[in-house]
Structure 1
Amino acid sequence: MTFNEFILANEVTIRLSFFFGVFAIMAIWEVIAPRRALTVSKTIRWANNLGLVFFNSFILRLLFPAAAVGVAAFAETHGWGLLNYYSLPGFLAVILAIIAMDFIIYLQHVMVHAVPLLWRIHRVHHADLDYDVTTGSRFHTIEIILSMLIKFATIIVLGAPVVAVVIFEVVLNALAMFNHGNVGLPKSLDTFLRWFVVTPDMHRVHHSVEDDETNSNFGFNLTWWDRLFGTYRDQPRGGQLGFTIGINKYRDVKQTNWILGMMLLPFKGKVSEYAINTRNWNSQKNTED
């Protein structure tokens, strides 16, 4: 059995092992040393957030049984993509693919904030009234499907190696749970890590009700893109313990933290001109819908 065949045969086991392992670590950490006090029942939030996660996983397996790693294997077999066209050392191809895929994730995240129709779907992620390890995985089913299609296209264009796709999937899930954790790091460690990876205090700013804070810190893995494109923000103006999480117009628990409310949220209200901006929500209260 070749290395690629081993990865393909065990891809689900590898991903799930890391997912549940990191999830358990973050969940225990949040209990031992929570960064912020929760405002909604943890039982309600976890049951509905994780319920949405498992529903989305079922839909993805139903629609895309091959998954991203299968697309990578198919592209490699047929010689599709830039990295399959040029002869590069294996380790270099893996590193370039991971960095490129992370950049696409950053651009995708900016896009779902900038395009009003896509923001309506993405706001399911932001409507959570609290912020913890389960927030990192709660997305509307439509967004999950769109993300998978973008990932497939990226893998085909890049010709990303199978091992790079598996590593990226594992790292993306692990860091999404880490940086959405209701935890904090010592200031010196947080400052150091921010030069490389997104920390909880860094990404928490992105979940502020303020437009200018929400439209910052888009990265999930590497922090380089936010720094390079001017979307990096060090701290919320209210401080880590003083700012409000969520979306101002959606504060009803049944809308924000129950599965039915989350699934219907993209269809609530009118399509507004909400887009990437640096406005303070309090200065233009009618811009967020």
Structure 2
Amino acid sequence: MKEWLLSHEPLIRLGCFAAVLATMAAWELLAPRRAQAIGRRRRWPSNLGIVVVDTLALRLVFPTAAVGLAMVAEARGWGLFGAVSAPYWLAVIVSVVVLDFVIYLQHVLFHAVPGLWRLHRMHHADLEFDTTTGLRFHPVEILLSMGLKLAAVAALGAPAVAVLVFEVLLNATSLFNHGNVRLPAAVDRWLRWIVVTPEMHRVHHSVIRNETNSNFGFNLPWWDRLLGTYRAQPAAGHLGMIIGIEQFRDPVELRLDRMLLQPLRGPASTYPVNRDPRGGPG
């Protein structure tokens, strides 16, 4: 099974991505949580187009992705699990959880450092919130994130299967927790103890700064609860909250070329963590 999974890694990742994206897109049509003033035709070409740009950038800079590095690390005995004897199943579980924590810390860092916020704010500058918002990351941010992920994989000596599972989960949960979908309140209250839900993550896309700087988790919700960055609900409610940031409110900024140039434009001092204790809108 392990050999089959690793030999079919690209197909598995692409198949899971396409299946989750199609499922979320259909769910949003059938049961949307919020009415959207700016529809899919205006936003989706750029949000999907950035995936192509990001993928090309990754292939160019990192020909060997995280799973490939994990296979090398396993073969050469690198990292923690190369030095410590542990059951394979335990190494897989621990690796997935630790990698998720690394991504949480990275996300906080991209909010805390103004230079990194310049890159990350493109994700927040979407004027609506739906499953394609979970794909909207600047290619330089994606490259930095991959570099950090590769370092974590090598340091852990994470099993290649664990890295594949983590990559699939991260992509799937990002599409899920950015979904403009309705969940029964009772289901959401229960589910957000296990995984980051759309209701939980939507708060993170509020225009209000102290809401933007909360709920950083993408997959596991525990880090926000344990480290004090959890916020249960937006102050204005999910139907009343404003999505985005104040700097890029013109819909023309939704164009792909404008998105790519956003890190070079305007100040980067209004949103980063703890920059304004009042936490008002930017």
1:108-146 superposed Cα distances (whole Å, 9 cap, x missing partner): 000000000000100000000000010001100100000
Whether the 8 Å contact between 2:32 and 2:181 is mirrored in structure 1 is yes
Identify the residue that residue 234 of structure 1 maps to in structure 2.
232
Identify the residue that residue 265 of structure 2 maps to in structure 1.
268
CA distance in 2 between counterparts of 1:274 and 1:205 reads 15
CA distance in 1 between counterparts of 2:50 and 2:125 reads 14
Identify the residue that residue 281 of structure 1 maps to in structure 2.
280
CA distance in 1 between counterparts of 2:278 and 2:99 reads 30
Whether the 8 Å contact between 2:209 and 2:271 is mirrored in structure 1 is no
CA distance in 2 between counterparts of 1:271 and 1:123 reads 9
Whether the 8 Å contact between 2:117 and 2:268 is mirrored in structure 1 is no
Count of equivalent residues = 280
For 1:131-142, list aligned pairs within 5 A.
Answer: 131-142=129-140
Determine whether 1:84 maps to 2:82. yes
Q: TM-score, normalised by structure 2?
A: 0.96
CA distance in 2 between counterparts of 1:32 and 1:49 reads 21
Per the alignment, do residues 230 and 157 of structure 1 end up closer, same or farther by CA in structure 2, a change over 3 Å counting?
A: same
Computed over aligned residues only, the root mean square deviation of the Cα atoms, in angstroms, reads 1.2
Amino acid in the other structure paired with 1:156: A
1:57-114 superposed Cα distances (whole Å, 9 cap, x missing partner): 1221222222110010011111111012111001000000000000000000000000
TM-superposed deviation, 1:275: 2.6
Per the alignment, do residues 251 and 184 of structure 1 end up closer, same or farther by CA in structure 2, a change over 3 Å counting?
A: same
CA distance in 1 between counterparts of 2:268 and 2:13 reads 37
Identify the residue that residue 143 of structure 2 maps to in structure 1.
145
CA distance in 2 between counterparts of 1:272 and 1:207 reads 17
Identify the residue that residue 285 of structure 1 maps to in structure 2.
none
Identify the residue that residue 32 of structure 2 maps to in structure 1.
34
Point out where structure 1 has 5 or more consecutive residues left out of the alignment. 283-287
Whether the 8 Å contact between 2:131 and 2:176 is mirrored in structure 1 is yes
Identify the residue that residue 199 of structure 2 maps to in structure 1.
201
Whether the 8 Å contact between 2:247 and 2:266 is mirrored in structure 1 is no
The 4+ residue runs of structure 1 with deviation greater than 6 A are none
CA distance in 1 between counterparts of 2:249 and 2:272 reads 21
CA distance in 1 between counterparts of 2:178 and 2:159 reads 28
CA distance in 1 between counterparts of 2:138 and 2:39 reads 21
Whether the 8 Å contact between 2:188 and 2:197 is mirrored in structure 1 is yes
Per the alignment, do residues 194 and 103 of structure 1 end up closer, same or farther by CA in structure 2, a change over 3 Å counting?
A: same
TM-superposed deviation, 1:7: 2.9
Per the alignment, do residues 274 and 235 of structure 1 end up closer, same or farther by CA in structure 2, a change over 3 Å counting?
A: closer
* Counterpart selection for 2:23 from 21, 25, 41: 25
Q: TM-score, normalised by structure 1?
A: 0.94
CA distance in 2 between counterparts of 1:97 and 1:128 reads 32
Amino acid in the other structure paired with 1:133: T
For 1:91-170, list aligned pairs within 5 A.
Answer: 91-170=89-168
Q: Secondary structure at the match of 1:279?
A: coil
Identify the residue that residue 62 of structure 1 maps to in structure 2.
60
TM-superposed deviation, 1:33: 0.7
1:131-176 superposed Cα distances (whole Å, 9 cap, x missing partner): 0010001100100000100010000001110000000011111111
Amino acid in the other structure paired with 1:281: G
